[in-house]
Structure 1
Amino acid sequence: MRNRLGGARPKGLRKTSVHRKNLQIATFEGIPSTIFQVLLQGQFLTGFLLYLGASSSQIGFVIALTTLVNVAQIGVAFLIQKLPSRKWAMVTFIGLHRLLWGSTGLVPFIFPKEHWVTAFIVLYTIAFIANTAGGVLWSSVISDLVPARVRGRYFGIRNTFLNALGSLVMYGGGLVLDRYPGGHGFLILYIVVWIFSISNVIVFFFYPDVPFEKSEEKDFLPMLKKPLHDTLFMKSTLFLSAWLLLQNLTVPLYSYVMLQLLHINYETLSLLNVSQTIFMMASFYVWGNLNAKYSNKRLLLWTLPIIAVSSLLWGLLSVLPMLLVLFAAHIVFGMGVGGFNQLAFNFIIGDTPKKERPMYMAMYAALTGLAAFFGPLIGGRIYEWIHEWPHWTQVYGMQLIVGALMLALALLLGRRILKD
């Protein structure tokens, strides 16, 4: 390849140009992915399940399913070592996930009303089994696609941009559901979902098939033992799993509390989630800059008390105006969880050996996935048990207890485990 002056283009420039193009593709792919995922999860998932007739424990089970199937990532991490190409396997499994998840919108048109919840759960489960394989492949590809020297900055910018887009989509979806309540509103949302889920799969065709440095181990058990014998990694992962178990007792069910118990409309709920996302985006920049000076594990520790305080803030509903407290709790949670998610991802792809990274990722996903599965499942059950209790115990009593337990866990155990 030659430049305009007729001379050969320096090799470094070619490499830089290829990296830039790959990063642009990865960022562009996130646009349709963000749009359809925002409209299918969180408040919209809870609202659609309530429309289908689901109970609080069924809602908790559905929310938890996405993390339970992460256990299968251990098998996927081994099997991808046998693949000649990660790209086309990734496109296949991600395509299946998008198709099946989007098809949940057809449930009210195909099945009798008494089977709506069951049909939704079946389609949703199969979709996220496919997503388990797709998620391992995408994480493996993206960790090789993004050069280590720009990883923190790139993901900070990408996350900020996509979360800004997600905020707009979330607010727009809330307006649609308030203006067109019930099945009509959800049909409109699912039409948008179908358009962008197909667009998302098409963009994956443009991903490069980057070279894959495979594990030195050829058999499953020796490969599995690599992360298990890494004491520092396992201690950190088990601690973060315990943390996510506590956190997920309440956080995934916030939408249930606000929609069902506090009777907040979708527009207000969208504004609450948008405020959380805005402060999450701002936190990406702050945590990213701090990450240049401090380790991933140390900064992870700093995020934990912030998340705990966000849960404790719900207790102020007893003395302060409802919306003031809810906005404060969502804003503080956004600042904490933004750092937690970004730093946990950096910890997995940056603090682990490259050749063994798929199994390390899978082990982290499996252990934290089990914890995150039982969290909302237990939380949903508890809300059913306390259904006859005083109203305040259902609205903010759970958050107070969980927040206190999280704060104690962070200060007593976290300081010893998440150290440099």
Structure 2
Amino acid sequence: MRGGIMFKQSTQRKPSLQRRNLAMATWEGIPSVIFQTLLGGQFLTGFLLYLGATSGELGFVLAITTFVNIGQLLVAYLIQKIRSRKWAFVIFGTVQRVLWGATGLAPFLFPQQYWVAAYIGFYVSAFLLNTFVGMLWNSLISDIVPARVRGRYFGIRNTILNGLGTLFMFIGGMLLDRFPGGQGFLYLYIVAWICITANIATFFFYPDLPFERSRETGFLPMLKRPLKDRSFIKATGFIAGFLFLQNLVVPMYSYVMLELLEINYKTISLLNVTQTVFMMGSFYVWGNLNARYSNRRLLLWTMPLIALAVLTWGLISVFPALPVLFLAHILFGIGVGGFNQLAFNFMIGDTPKAERPMYMAMYSAITGVASFFGPLIGGQMYEWIEHWPKWTQVFGLQLVVGILMIVLAMTFGRRILRDT
């Protein structure tokens, strides 16, 4: 008691440093997901077509983002030499964001005949730098998020960010409908640049945590560490094989719906939004399950769901196409939501901490190559069967691939992804 007034001790406690770091990582993701939504997906395709890109140029841009993951093997070695992960992340992240945003400057800086080449130059440069940014972020976030809450935290974070991504996908589409052509894309890039600026500002709030470095000092010895880990390599190789099969047909869904089933863009957008909504809902469920079961076991559980989503296309032979497509997209959203989340947790949680950068790089390189060649071969397969009966293109190829995915998951998957 002082001066007749009793000062009560506040019952409210300041959030711990760990909680503040977790909240910061979520806030950083908000402007990031908004600008990536507005500069990727259907908007990337539309902008490239506006610039005059051919289908071959478009295919190259869509595929390059996974192929450059091979570069992470070198990055994993180089980041062992830096003093501060945070400031390296700030520098590389800033330049990468600026280069990605600079794709929108192509019509202002170059003559029309060079628009596509300028876009590709900025875009490829941005994603080459993204090999550094992604590796640094994965390394930082694996230390920021405690293992005991990793499943729930990423479940909640992914739900929030995917919800925002879906909202801005709608907003961006409405903006382009209202202002078609260059004016609409100008508005998209203005919003994207605001978010890029905000995203760069949030980088400075990341903690500069101590870095447990590899015990190896040379590149080749460091590279051999994950290669000698039989359990890790077998799991990564199996996941890459599953992704290869998945990418033979899934990237071609839009082609099948537009060209063969003659479904309009509005309906396809509704199907994609439905898939995203169910994927968002699944994040929290998979996150809670991850608190009880291992990453490997849950990864295996997601695979039959994804395969079933592919097999569901066969129901078009006996039921109307639209209800079947909604069911296929719902199952795929639930399955791939869990797969992506659990694969990330496997990459940062089931690997030795000191060697984690090279482990993550090896995983990204192997699965990146599979994800690169899957769509290329899948597109070629559709050309091979172009003159076959229509049903073989609409759902026949999906049935074959779906059966192979089920067989792969139930044979090799049960042995390789068992708890260790």
**Partner Cα distance (2:393, 2:171) in 1:** 29
Residue-by-residue CA offset, 1:143-199 (whole Å, 9 max, x unaligned): 111122221111111111111111111222222333444444333322222221221
**3-state SS of 2:248 partner:** coil
Residue in structure 1 matched with residue 246 of structure 2 by the alignment: 247
Q: Is the 8 A contact 1:284 1:338 kept in 2?
A: yes
Correspondence for 1:353 = 352
Matched, 1:159 2:158: yes
On the 8 A contact 2:149/2:291 being kept in 1, the answer is no
Q: Does 1:400 align with 2:420?
A: no
Q: Name the TM-score, length of structure 2 as normaliser.
A: 0.89
Percent pairwise identity: 66
Aligned to 1:77: 76
User: Is the 1:171–1:274 contact (alpha carbons within 8 Å) kept by the matching residues of 2?
Assistant: no
Aligned to 2:209: 210
Q: Is the 8 A contact 1:178 1:265 kept in 2?
A: no
1:154-233 equivalence runs, <5 A: 154-233=153-232
Is the Cα contact below 8 Å between 1:291 and 1:299 reproduced in 2?
A: yes
- Counterparts in 2 of 1:314 and 1:177: CA distance versus 1, 3 Å: farther
Cα drift, residue 311 of structure 1: 1.6
Q: CA deviation at 1:388?
A: 5.7
* CA distance, structure 1, for counterparts of residue 139 and residue 221 of structure 2: 20
Which secondary structure state, in structure 2, belongs to the residue aligned with residue 249 of structure 1? helix
Larger displacement relative to structure 2 (323-332 or 110-119) = 110-119
- Change in CA separation of 1:391 and 1:188 when aligned onto 2, cut-off 3 Å: farther
Distance 1:99 1:264 in 2: 37
* Structure 2 Cα separation of the partners of residues 376 and 44 of structure 1: 20
Q: Which blocks of at least 5 consecutive residues in structure 1 are unaligned?
A: none
Q: Counterpart of 2:418 in 1: which secondary structure?
A: coil
The aligned counterpart of 1:22 is 21
Q: Does 1:150 align with 2:149?
A: yes
How has the CA–CA distance of structure 1 residues 188 and 271 changed in structure 2, closer, same or farther, with 3 Å as cutoff? farther
Q: Distance in 2 between the 1:181 and 1:258 partners? A: 24
> Residue by residue, what CA displacement relative to the aligned partner does 1:17-56 show, whole Å, maximum 9, x if unpaired?
1111111110000100111111222232333344444455
Map residues 257-296 of structure 1 onto 2, 5 A cutoff.
257-259=256-258, 264-296=263-295
Q: Distance in 2 between matches of 1:88 and 1:43?
A: 33
For the Cα contact (< 8 Å) 1:310–1:333, is it kept in 2?
yes
Shift in CA distance, 199/168, structure 1 to aligned 2, threshold 3 Å: same
Q: CA deviation at 1:353?
A: 0.9
For residues 403 and 347 of structure 1, the distance between their equivalents in structure 2, rounded to whole angstroms, comes to: 24
The residue that corresponds to 1:313 in the other structure is 312
2:375 aligned with 1:376: yes
* Inter-CA distance 38–58: structure 2 relative to 1 (3 Å threshold): same
- Which residue in the other structure is 1:333 paired with? 332
* 1:139 Cα deviation from its structure 2 partner: 0.3
Give, in angstroms, the shift of residue 319 of structure 1.
Answer: 4.2
Aligned partners of 2:152 and 2:291 also within 8 Å: no
Evaluate the alpha carbon distance shift between residue 188 and residue 112 of structure 1 in structure 2; reply closer, same or farther with a 3 A threshold.
Answer: same
SS in 2 for 1:354: coil
| Two-structure CA RMSD over aligned residues (Å) | 2.6
Could you say which structure has the larger radius of gyration? 2
389-398 vs 163-172, greater mean Cα deviation = 389-398
- The aligned amino acid for 1:142 is I
Kindly tell me: are residues 250 and 62 of structure 1, through their superposed partners in 2, closer, same or farther at Cα, counting changes over 3 Å? Answer: farther
Say whether the 8 Å CA contact 2:148–2:291 is kept in structure 1. Answer: no
1:124 and 2:123 are equivalent in the alignment: yes
Give the Cα separation in 2 of the matches to 1:94 and 1:260: 39
Structure 1, residues 66-90: CA drift from partner, whole Å, max 9, x if none? 1111111111111111111111111
Separation in 2, partners of 1:254, 1:31: 29
Provide the C-alpha distance between the structure 2 equivalents of 1:347 and 1:43, rounded to a whole number of angstroms. Answer: 30
Report the CA distance shift for 1:340/1:30 in structure 2 as closer, same or farther (over 3 A): same
CA contact (8 A) 2:307 2:406 kept: yes
Q: 1:314 to 1:117 in 2, by over 3 A?
A: farther
